[in-house]
Amino acid sequence: MSLIFPFNPDIAYAATIPARLYNDPVYLELERERIFASTWQLVGRLDQVAEHGAFITAEVGMDSIVVLRDGDTLRGFHNVCLHRAGPVAHGCGKRNTLQCRYHGWTYRLDGSLLRAPEMEGTCNFSADDMHLVPVKVAQWGPLVFVNVNGKAPPLLEMLEDIPTRVAAFKCEEMHYVTSKHWDIQCNWKVYVDNYLEGYHLPMVHPGLHKELDYDQYHVEPHRYFSIQHAPLRPVHGGTTERFYDPSKTDVNEAVYVWLFPNVMLNVYMGQMQTNTVVPLSHDRTRVTFDWYASTPPTDDASTAEFMRLQAFSYAIQDEDITIVEAVQRNLRSRVYDRGRYSATRENGVHHFHSLLHEFLT
C-alpha cells in the first residue's frame, strides 16, 4: 500500500483525505516523526517554570522532554540519561539538579554531567563529554513550546501576526485557572477536522449556534495556522439568558486560533482556553483544556460566572466527542473512503489536509 495520497489544492475540486489516514497505525508513526517532531508543541505554562530549578516533563510523539528554569534561561532537553536511557526527571517540580533514578547519574540544570557513580574503571570516559541532548524552547505569553528536531522556524515567525490579532483580548496577561483532559476514541485528525469548521454548529451545537452569528462565521487560513472569526449575536429584548453577551466584552467576537498541527486557542469573553490534541494511538486521542482568565474568579459571584461558562464549554466538548467518535467508527466502513469539502464552509479543514500532505509526502 502506498503511503502517498493525492491531494488537490483547489477546494472546489478536492476530495477529502483517504480514510486509511485515520485508521492505519503506520500513518501515526510517520506523523510522529514528520509532523510532531518537526513543529512547535505546546508542553506547559510559563508559571510552571517561573522559578530557578522548576521543571516540567512532556511526551512529544515518541520523545520524552524536560523543560526547566536555569536562572533567567528556559532550557529544554530530551529526558533521557546518556548512560542507559533512564529518565532524568518525572512529572513536574523543583530541583537543583536532574538525576536519573536508574543509576544516579546527575546533571546540572545546563545539561552538563555533574556526577556518574562508579565509572572510575571505564576507559575513554570523561564527564565533560556527556551532556543532555537539548531541544528548542520558546514562549509566547503564558505558553511554553518545544521543537524536538530543531528544524521548525522560530516560534514568533510561525505565529506571524497572531499576537497582534488577539491583542485586544490581552491573552499575554491572562492567568491560569484550571485544567481538564478527555481521552477520546478517535484519531487525532478527526478531532482537529471537527475543530476547524463551523459547518456543524447548527446540527451538533444548537446552544453555541444561538450565541454566534453563523452567517458571518468565517475561517482565515495562513501558512501554519488558521483563525476562525465568530461574531457574537446581538442581544435583543426578551432574549433568554446568554452565555456570550456582547455588552459584557470589548471584543464582539469569539476567536478560535489553530496552530498546526494540534494546538487550539479559544478566546472570548475575557477568557482563553488552550486545547492540546495528543494521539495516544491511531484511534485514541487525549485532549487537554487549560483555562485562563483576564480576571481569575476571586469571590462567589465571579466563581459562579466562571463555572457557568465552563459548564457551557464542557457541554460543547461532550457534543463534539459524541460526533467525532461516531465519525471514527464510520471511517472504518467498507463503503467510505473519501468525501468532498464544502467550498464555502470547510476551507480550514482543506488547509489542514494540505499541510498533512506537505509534511507526509
Residue with cell 466563581: 303
Query: What amino acid is encoded at 13 in this protein?
Result: Y
Total number of domains in the chain: 2
Are 57 and 197 in the same domain?
A: no
246 and 345 in a single domain? The answer is yes
Query: Is position 1 within any domain?
Result: no
Is residue 47 one of the residues assigned to a domain? yes
164: domain CATH number is 3.90.380.10
Which domain CATH number covers 83?
2.102.10.10
Whether residue 266 sits in one domain with residue 139: no
In a domain, 5, yes or no: no
The confidence score (pLDDT) of residue 65 equals 98
Q: How far is CA 39 from CA 43, 149, 324, 352, in A?
A: 12, 8, 25, 14
Q: Check whether residue 181 and residue 310 sit in a common domain.
A: yes
What's the helix, strand, coil split of the chain in %, to 5? 30, 30, 40
Residue 279 inside a domain? The answer is: yes
Determine the distance from the C-alpha atom of residue 185 to the mean position of all C-alpha atoms in its chain, rounded to a whole number: 18
Residues 6 or more apart in contact with residue 149 via CB below 8 angstroms:
37, 38
> What is the rounded CA–CA span in Å between residue 244 and residue 308?
11
User: Domain ends where: 151, 171, 191?
Assistant: 151
d(CA 257, CA 158): 13
Mean pLDDT per 10-residue run, the chain (361 residues)? 81 98 96 97 97 98 97 98 97 98 97 95 92 97 96 96 91 92 98 98 96 96 97 76 81 94 94 96 97 89 90 96 99 98 98 97 88
Question: Nearest-CA neighbor of 66 among 131, 135, 152?
Answer: 135
Whether 260 and 39 have beta carbons less than 8 Å apart is answered as yes
Same domain assignment for residues 202 and 297: yes
Q: Is residue 15 part of a domain?
A: no
Shared-domain flag, residues 254 and 109: no
pLDDT computed for residue 3 by the predictor: 67
The last residue of a domain, from among 121, 151, 181: 151
Residue 143 shares a structural domain with residue 80: yes
- Compute CA distances 226 → 159, 268, 350, whole Å: 10, 16, 11
pLDDT for res 240: 62
Query: Based on the domain organization, do 137 and 247 belong to the same domain?
Result: no
Give 269's contacts (C-beta < 8 A, 6+ positions apart). Answer: 244, 245, 248, 249, 254, 309
**Last residue of some domain: 105, 123, 151?**
151
Instruction: Please report whether residue 8 resides in a domain.
Output: no
Clarify whether residues 188 and 106 are in a common domain.
Answer: no
Contact between 265 and 256 (Cβ < 8 Å): yes
**d(C-alpha 198, C-alpha 194), whole Å:** 8
Residues 6+ apart with CB under 8 A from 166: 255, 257, 265, 267
Q: Answer yes or no: pTM beyond 0.85.
A: yes
Which domain range does residue 334 map to?
20-38+160-360
> Does 14 fall in a domain?
no
Residue 4 belongs to a domain: no
Check residue 296 and give its pLDDT.
85
In this structure, the number of other CB atoms found within 10 A of the CB of residue 8 comes to 14
Specify whether 186 is located in the same domain as 308.
yes
The pLDDT, as a whole number, for residue 355 is: 98
85 and 233 belong to one structural domain:
no
Same domain, 183 and 60: no
Amino acid (one-letter) located at 103: H
Q: What local confidence, expressed as pLDDT, does residue 295 receive?
A: 86
